[in-house]
Amino acid sequence: MRPGAVPQNHSQPLFAASVRQFLLLPLLLMTCIAVAAPLASDGRPLIGVLNHQGDAFAEQPGTPTADDLTQASPDHGLPIIPIRFDAIESTTSAGQTGESLNGNRAGNRAGNQAPFTLHDALSRYWIAVLTGIAALLVLLVLVSRVLHLNQRLSRANTRLERRQQLILDSVAEGIYGVDLQGRATFVNKAMERMTGWRSEEMIGNDEHEIIHHTRADGEPHSRDDCPVYTTFRDSQPRFVDDDLFWRRDGSSFPVEYSVTPIRDERGVTIGSVVVFRDITDRRKAAERISRHEAEQAHFSRMSTLGEMASGIAHELNQPLTAITTNARACVRMIESDRATMASCSNVMTKIAEQAERAGEVIRQIRRFIRKEQPEISATAVDEIFETVMVLLREEARRTGVILYRQIGLGADRVMAQRTQIEQVLLNLARNAIEAMSDQQRERRVLLLARRDGDKVEIRVVDTGPGLGKGSPEHLFEPFVTTKAQGLGVGLSISNGIVEAHGGRLRVDSTAGIGATFYFSLECASEDQDQDPAQHQHQNQNQAPEIAAQQPRPGL
């Protein structure tokens, strides 16, 4: 929809112009005729016929005879005239009355001359008369034509308006226009349906106050911030993908909409038009998908933990063993009177430390399997690595793998959903450990974080045999596995998580040297610390900017 196609205001001048044009033509014609007629009646001998007639008047100033007339009639082509001329002749022969009848004209001419008859007039001014009649006819034709056109135009106009309304109404999106005061100029059926307001209630009223008065968080939405109003102020089209409109019954629904300025024929903005869509269903579907993904990730974490259960049990067993043994030893020393205060308190401190160690393992496990809303926030890389190392310590010990971690300068905080990134690292590190289980070479896994521009690159490096042949892209597809007992979902879930963080899981591999899996995360700047809300807010602000640079086609 271009602004030009939008309603009455614009078609009206167009219509008026065409009417003017049609009226102008006959007027011009009439002016021409009016000028031409007197010229012809001046008796200037322009053409042969006139010349001959003038001569006839000069030679025979008296009453023209019937012969003359009959002679003249074939010349002038006026066969009906003789009858009329008889009548005139009789009146003139009747005496002076004829003179008075003919008035001054006859008198002006020579006294004894015959009076100037209608015949004379006609034969003298017939061209003017004919032209006048023709002009009248033309005028008549033109007027009827203009009336006809006018009618057609108004019909076309009505049809156009109807079609326009039809188009507006048949669109599933809600469409409405506002003028520079923010009053609705038109609305379509879909909008009535979606908002519950009738068009009569909306048109002419402040649209912002009707459907756009409050934000999602319950704060009043100021008119000055309204993108619809801003659009006709700065004449920039914009797209808003996350907003809220209110219904007549006081409920609200999520919308995305595009606002385009309406311009008149001179290009001056006279309002804006809004096309909006109820995105409740899409929102729900997106929520469903993200919930599904979260569940899948959770399931995968549970199963990972299940596989690691024996290792983790051992990890708990160690401090528990140390605790009981220390406690018993202490009791024995006290009983056998060999204990000193110093040695006892030393042992007690050890016991406390070991209990804390066990508690830490449990805390990490509980946090890892907790169902969390995938909320991305500023997270310390060190904490992520710590969890992975705690959960993997026993598995690494059993398989003789040494775990390292290294965090580069400026790479200590990232924007991440902590549990999910831990899950990715755990997956990758476990794969690495498993890949090295049979090798004689040194077995090492390095968790590495390093700054890369405004991102932090996380790497899991191993000294294993590297990946086998085959394209590494397939690795990230679901149900692709190189393990005898693998399901092939680990890497695909990991990749999904990394993609949800706006990155991509990649791999480098050299046979006989090792493999490196890596991905990038947004670096958390200082002011983003512990403030996920602010981050989201920034995202929201960015959306209209992008939309302004690339207006949606067709609007």
Partner 1 sequence: MKNEPTVFIVDDDDEVREAIGLLMESVGLPSERFDSGWAYLACFDPARPGCLVLDVRMRQMSGLELQERLVQEPIHPPVIIITGHGDVPMAVRAVKNGAVDFIEKPFNDQALLDAVQRAIDIDAEQRGHALEIANIQTRMERLTKREREVLDQIVAGKRNKVIAADLSISQSTVEAHRAKVMEKLEVRSLSDLMRAMLLLEPSGGKAKDGL
Binding residues for partner 1 (CB under 8 A): 310, 313-314, 317-326, 328-330, 332-333, 336, 338, 347, 350, 353-354, 357, 394, 397-398, 400
Minimum Å gap between C-beta 319 and partner 1 is: 7
Q: What is the DSSP string of 517-549?
A: EEEEEEBPPGGGTT-HHHHHHHHHHHHHHHHHH
Shortest CA distance to 364 belongs to which of 349, 380, 385, 379? 385
Q: Which is nearer to partner 1, 71 or 346 (CB)?
A: 346
CB of 339 to partner 1, least distance (A): 8
Given a contact cutoff of 8 angstroms between Cβ atoms, the answer to whether 520 and 457 are in contact is: yes
Q: CA 207 to CA 432: how far, in whole Å?
A: 61
Helix axes 341-369, 418-435, angle to 10 degrees: 100
Identity of the residue, 320 or 380, whose beta carbon is nearer to partner 1 in the bound complex = 320
Q: At its nearest, how many Å lie between partner 1 and the CB of residue 334? A: 9
Exposed e or buried b per residue across 447-483, where buried means at least 16 C-beta atoms within 10 angstroms of its C-beta: bbbbebeebbbbbbbbbbbbbeeeeeeebbeeeeeee
Tell me the torsion sign for CA atoms 11, 12, 13, 16.
Answer: positive
Q: How far apart are CA 457 and CA 437, in angstroms?
A: 27
Which one, of 357, 375, 391, 364, lies nearest residue 290 by Cα? 375
**Shortest Cβ 398–partner 1 spacing (Å):** 6
Q: How far is the CB of 415 from partner 1 (least distance, A)?
A: 36
- As given in the structure block, the two tokens for residue 147 are 């009336």
**Minimum distance between the CB of residue 440 and partner 1, rounded to whole angstroms?**
13
Ordered DSSP codes for 270-322: EEEEEEEEE-HHHHHHHHHHHHHHHHHHHHHHHHHHHHTHHHHHHHHHHHHHH
Query: Which is closer to partner 1, CB of 292 or CB of 332?
Result: 332
Identify which of residues 26 and 319 has a Cβ nearer to partner 1 in the complex.
319
Tokens 């106050």, residue? 209
Return the number of the residue (346 or 538) whose C-beta is nearest partner 1: 346
Residue closer to partner 1 by CB (options 207, 394) is: 394
Closest CA to 276 of 255, 260, 261: 255
Of residues 346 and 525, the one with the C-beta less far from partner 1: 346
Alpha-carbon distances, residue 306 vs 300, 303, 309 (angstroms)? 10, 5, 5
Of the candidates 436, 509, 517, the residue with the CA atom closest to the CA atom of residue 466? 509
Of 120 and 315, the one with the shorter C-beta distance to partner 1 is 315
Nearer to partner 1, 129 or 329 (CB): 329
H or E element at residue 252: strand 252-263
Q: Can you tell me whether residue 263 is helix, strand or coil?
A: strand
User: At its nearest, how many Å lie between partner 1 and the CB of residue 283?
Assistant: 49
User: Minimum Å distance from CB 326 to partner 1?
Assistant: 5
Shortest CB 421 distance to partner 1, Å: 28
Kindly state the smallest distance separating residue 328's Cβ from partner 1, in Å: 4
140/331 with CB nearer partner 1? 331
The dihedral formed by the CA atoms of 30, 31, 35 and 38, expressed in degrees to the nearest 10: 40
